[in-house]
Amino acid sequence: MSSAVFPSPTSFRDRRHQALQHEQQRERRLWGTALTAVVTFVAVSVALSTLIPRSPPAVSLPPPAAIAIDLAPLPTAIPTPPQDVPKGPKQTQAQPDPTPEEPPKIAAPPSPAPHPPAPVPKTETRKIVKKTVVKPVSHKEKPLPLKEAPAERTTAPPSTEAPPAVTQASPSPGASSSHASRAPASWQSDLVARLERFKRYPTEAQRHREEGTPLLTFTMNRKGRVLSARLTKPSGYTLLDQETLALVRRAEPLPEPPDSVSGDTITLTVPIEFYVE
């Protein structure tokens, strides 16, 4: 008869206590690992954000202000009345010379030959035509023109004076004045474009929203070099006035004036606008 051995209550409680301690140690290890991972992630993130430099935000600058130049109107040339050109002799179309009438063809007598005598009348006709053309030439002082020459010709008598070719080739006064008025306008446009290209709005004045329209008066020679420059009317701001005087020097050499603008030196007054958009 076998007997079963049951554990005592004391040993059962000890095993249960050891199991609980083991479970608690396992949970503590898990929580410690998780806490360490979180702390490491936060530390790495802070270090990266501190070490990596941030790019500064892009600053959008306003576009450069335009230059408005108000030049004085150009003098227009007074049109001169057209001069009377002497009229030459009238040219009339020459009438073509009357062609001589051909004499009637002489029919050749019939030939007993079987072939028709076609070549015989052609030879005789040519001889007759030559005689009729040559006969009137002997009675005239000038030879008749050939039939291949054009029938249209003039009968104006020859003149010993030179033809008025210069008067016909010269342009009309209206066309010359129009060309002279277009040349200074094109030069003024080139001058405005060059000043616009070299104009700079001072950054400090733009930040303080300093605006104005100073009047610049400068004298230039025919090579585009500035001889003198001054402010006829200042803008009230030192930076804008300094930029206006420096602008005309920076843009040298200026476009050369056309031949229609007279004088060795040219003085111009130009308004320079500075406005913050």
Instruction: Tell me, yes or no, whether 85 lies in a domain.
Output: no
> Which pLDDT band holds residue 184 (cuts at 50, 70, 90)?
confident
**Prior bond to 253 cis, omega within 30?**
yes
Instruction: Tell me, yes or no, whether 48 lies in a domain.
Output: no
**pLDDT above 50 (res 264):** yes
pLDDT for 123: 46
> Which pLDDT band holds residue 89 (cuts at 50, 70, 90)?
low
Instruction: Tell me, yes or no, whether 121 lies in a domain.
Output: no
Q: Three-state DSSP class for 16?
A: helix
Residue 233: burial class (beta carbons within 10 Å; 0-12, 13-18, 19+) = middle
Instruction: Tell me, yes or no, whether 217 lies in a domain.
Output: yes
Domain extent, residue 178, equals 173-271
| Domain of residue 200, CATH code | 3.30.1150
- How does pLDDT run across 152-161, given as a tens digit for each residue? 444 444 444 4
Instruction: Please state the rounded mean pLDDT for residues 99-127.
Output: 53
Instruction: Tell me, yes or no, whether 242 lies in a domain.
Output: yes
What is the C-alpha end-to-end distance of the chain, expressed in Å?
114
Q: Where is average pLDDT lowest: 47-56, 62-71, 141-150, 204-213? A: 141-150
Domain count, the chain: 1
Q: Where are the beta strands (DSSP E) in 78-214?
A: none
Asked if residues 234 and 241 have their Cβ atoms less than 8 Å apart, the reply is yes
| Tokens 């040298």 -> residue | 252
Instruction: Tell me, yes or no, whether 240 lies in a domain.
Output: yes
Instruction: Please state the rounded mean pLDDT for residues 125-150.
Output: 43
Identify the top-confidence range among 101-115, 116-130, 232-246: 232-246
> Which pLDDT band holds residue 81 (cuts at 50, 70, 90)?
low
Identify the top-confidence range among 61-70, 115-124, 181-190, 206-215: 206-215
Between 21 and 66, name the one with better pLDDT. Answer: 21
Instruction: Tell me, yes or no, whether 115 lies in a domain.
Output: no
- How does pLDDT run across 11-34, given as a tens digit for each residue? 777 878 888 888 888 888 899 899
Residue 201 DSSP code: -
pLDDT for 13: 75
pLDDT for 209: 92
Asked if residues 113 and 220 have their Cβ atoms less than 8 Å apart, the reply is no
Instruction: Tell me, yes or no, whether 148 lies in a domain.
Output: no
- How does pLDDT run across 30-48, given as a tens digit for each residue? 998 999 999 999 998 888 8
Q: Where is average pLDDT lowest: 8-17, 31-40, 71-80, 102-111? A: 71-80
What share of the chain has pLDDT > 70, as a percent?
A: 49
Tokens at 74, concatenated: 């150009």
